[in-house]
Amino acid sequence: MKVLITGGGTGGHIYPAIAIANKIQSGMKDSQILFVGTKRGLESDLVPKAGYQLKTITVSGFRRKISLDTVKSVGELFKGLQEAASIIKSFKPDIVIGTGGYVCGPVVFVASLMNIKTMIHEQNVIPGVTNKILSKFVNKILISFEESSRYFSNSSKLVTTGNPVRKEFIDFDREVFRNELGIAEDKIVVTSFGGSRGAEKINEVMLDVMKRFNDRKEIIFYHITGEKHYDQMMEKFKNMALSHSANLNILPYVHDMPKLMGASDLIISRSGAITLAEITAMGLPSILIPSPHVTNNHQEHNGRVLEKNGAAVLLLEKDLNDKNIVDLLHLFIRDRQRLVEMSVRSKALAKENATELIYASILKLINE
């Protein structure tokens, strides 16, 4: 089976694509997989590192106001359509799968015009503009949240699968991870981060939070700054007369996130779709701070699903300060059963078999 997968721009589109590819490859040893992305997106780095071939096309997003950039985008769209057609004709895929981002538009659209079976996967509650347009042309639409169904007109195409996550976030041993990190069972471990690149506002607030809990015996902090913010954070840390003590840990980046998250009792983070899939797969309570800088405010809508189900507390960035985080942490320290209840509700939202459901949908569509 030949599978063409297209998605790009951000890790939220690329990591699900790689997870899907890995599942296809393990399920069908003779499968051939080709990725199509752009040179500028993260896919140009992540896809080859995952061991897959990547072809690139020309594409860019449209600005809302008419300008020279809009004219340029139209020109790039036509060029991208031609490049996509050339790749598809050469590769001759049995199915084309789009996981979001502007690059999906021309690739999936051209494939549908060529009567090749097509499928898109939407990670967020509110679909991106590309997937909303493509939904009219594709054979199947895979969604990660039941709440997304209202945004697509053809319900017969919809399959709720969830977001695929690495097996390390599903099969883990909390006790083993805590032992490896030297964490006693009676400690509350808080891991906080603002995405792979970090978030300045979260960094600033968590610095003040950690100052309030310096040398407290019952709680341990691991805060991940993002590499570009680390030096500045450490300078502020030292200026506040703090140091790495038994309960304060500041890190630029963590390569083994399943271990750190698996050893944690509470996550403080953004509410990107893949992060939430990982949090719920591990059954972790969370304080969610949606990024206000994303299209359609989709992180808030993602986070509201967990909040509504009692698995998370959601704080908008405009309301974020050290006091409301500290108040919540004091609440959890006094009433640890609250964390246990949130953990159970988080786990109930997990779709651990998302990758298997996606794979089954691919095979079903191929055989129809």
321 a known binding residue?
no
Dist CA 248 CA 221 (whole Å)? 5
Tell me the two tokens of residue 141: 């639409």
CA count, 13 A, side-chain hemisphere, 83: 18
Dist CA 101 CA 368 (whole Å)? 27
Dist CA 209 CA 320 (whole Å)? 12
12 a known binding residue?
yes
Residue with token string 């974020």: 320
Taking each helix axis from N to C terminus, what angle separates 11-27 and 273-281, rounded to the nearest 10 degrees? 60
- Cα distances (Å, whole numbers) of residue 99 to 11, 52, 303: 11, 16, 20
Instruction: Dump strand ranges (E) for 230-323.
Output: 248-251, 266-269, 286-288, 312-314
Nearby residues of 187 by Cβ (< 8 Å), 6 or more positions away: 218, 219, 220
124 a known binding residue?
yes
Nearby residues of 106 by Cβ (< 8 Å), 6 or more positions away: 57, 59, 77, 80, 81, 83, 84
11 a known binding residue?
yes
Dist CA 233 CA 238 (whole Å)? 9
291 a known binding residue?
no
Maximal C-alpha separation, the chain:
66
Nearby residues of 82 by Cβ (< 8 Å), 6 or more positions away: none
Residue type, 49: K
8 a known binding residue?
no
String of b and e for 291-306 (b: at least 16 CB within 10 Å)?
Answer: beebeeebbbbbbbbb
User: Which parts are annotated binding residues?
Assistant: 10-12, 124, 166, 196, 299
User: Which parts are annotated binding residues for UDP-N-acetyl-alpha-D-glucosamine?
Assistant: 10-12, 124, 166, 196, 299
